[in-house]
Structure 1
Amino acid sequence: MVESKDKTPENKVTPAARQYPDPASKLRQDPPTTGHSWDGIEEYDNPMPRWWVWIFIITIIWAVGYWIAMPAWPGIQSATSGMLGYSSRANVATEISEFEARNEQFFVQLLETDLDAIRDNDELHRFAVNAGGSVFRAQCSQCHGTGGAGVQANGFPNLLDDDWLWGGTMDDIVTTISYGIRNEDYPDARYSAMPAFGQDGLLDNDEIDQVVNHVLSLSGADHDAALAAAGAEVFDLNCASCHGVEGEGDYFIGAPALNNQIWLYGGSPDAIRESVYYSRFGVMPGFERRLRDAEIRAVAAYVHQLGGGQ
Structure 2
Amino acid sequence: MADKHIDEISGVETTGHEWDGIRELNNPMPRWWVYTFYATILWGVGYAVAYPSIPLLTDATKGMLGFSSRAEVSTELANAKAAQAGSLERIASSSLDEIIADPQLQQFAAAGGASAFKVNCAQCHGSGAAGAKGFPNLNDDEWLWGGKPEDIYLTIAHGIRHSGDAETRVSEMPSFAEMLTHEEMRETAAYVVSLSGTSSDLALVTNGKQLFADNCSACHGADAKGNREMGAPNLADAIWLNEEGEQAIVNQMKAPKHGVMPAWLPRIGDTAVKQLAVFVHSLGGGE
- One fold, TM greater than 0.5? yes
After the TM superposition, which residues 128-277 of structure 1 pair with which residues of structure 2 at under 5 Å, given as runs? 128-151=109-132, 153=133, 155-198=134-177, 201-277=178-254
Q: Following the alignment from structure 1 to structure 2, what is the Cα–Cα distance between the partners of residues 288 and 276?
A: 33
Q: Following the alignment from structure 2 to structure 1, what is the Cα–Cα distance between the partners of residues 245 and 223?
A: 19
Find the residue that maps to 2:147 and give its secondary structure.
coil
* Rg (Cα) greater in structure: 1
1:21 Cα offset (Å): 5.3
Instruction: Kindly indicate whether the alpha-carbon contact (under 8 Å) linking 1:107 and 1:295 is maintained by their aligned counterparts in 2.
Output: no
Q: Which amino acid aligns with 1:247?
A: A
1:294 counterpart residue number: 271
1:114 counterpart residue number: 95
Q: Following the alignment from structure 1 to structure 2, what is the Cα–Cα distance between the partners of residues 255 and 263?
A: 12
Q: Following the alignment from structure 2 to structure 1, what is the Cα–Cα distance between the partners of residues 6 and 188?
A: 102
Q: Which amino acid aligns with 1:263?
A: W
1:20 counterpart residue number: 6
Q: Following the alignment from structure 1 to structure 2, what is the Cα–Cα distance between the partners of residues 243 and 189?
A: 20
1:78 Cα offset (Å): 3.9
Instruction: Kindly indicate whether the alpha-carbon contact (under 8 Å) linking 1:181 and 1:283 is maintained by their aligned counterparts in 2.
Output: yes
Instruction: Kindly indicate whether the alpha-carbon contact (under 8 Å) linking 1:178 and 1:287 is maintained by their aligned counterparts in 2.
Output: yes
Q: Following the alignment from structure 1 to structure 2, what is the Cα–Cα distance between the partners of residues 187 and 47?
A: 84
Instruction: Kindly indicate whether the alpha-carbon contact (under 8 Å) linking 2:190 and 2:201 is maintained by their aligned counterparts in 1.
Output: yes
Match of 1:92 among 64, 67, 73: 73
2:19 counterpart residue number: 38
1:278 counterpart residue number: 255
User: 1:44-71 CA deviation, whole Å, 9 max, x = no partner?
Assistant: 1223333322322222222222222212
Find the residue that maps to 2:18 and give its secondary structure.
strand
User: 1:64-86 CA deviation, whole Å, 9 max, x = no partner?
Assistant: 22222212233454433323222
1:58 counterpart residue number: 39
State the percentage of identical aligned residues. Answer: 43
Instruction: Kindly indicate whether the alpha-carbon contact (under 8 Å) linking 2:7 and 2:13 is maintained by their aligned counterparts in 1.
Output: no
1:5 counterpart residue number: none
1:249 Cα offset (Å): 1.0
Aligned residues: 286
Q: Which amino acid aligns with 1:284?
A: M
Find the residue that maps to 1:252 and give its secondary structure.
coil
Instruction: Kindly indicate whether the alpha-carbon contact (under 8 Å) linking 2:7 and 2:25 is maintained by their aligned counterparts in 1.
Output: no
1:99 Cα offset (Å): 1.7
1:182 Cα offset (Å): 1.1
Q: Following the alignment from structure 1 to structure 2, what is the Cα–Cα distance between the partners of residues 114 and 274?
A: 42
Q: Which amino acid aligns with 2:17?
A: H
- Show structure 2 runs of 5+ residues with no match: none
Find the residue that maps to 1:65 and give its secondary structure.
helix
1:118 Cα offset (Å): 2.4
1:104 Cα offset (Å): 1.6
Instruction: Kindly indicate whether the alpha-carbon contact (under 8 Å) linking 1:218 and 1:246 is maintained by their aligned counterparts in 2.
Output: no
User: 1:63-116 CA deviation, whole Å, 9 max, x = no partner?
Assistant: 222222212233454433323222222212211221221222112212222222
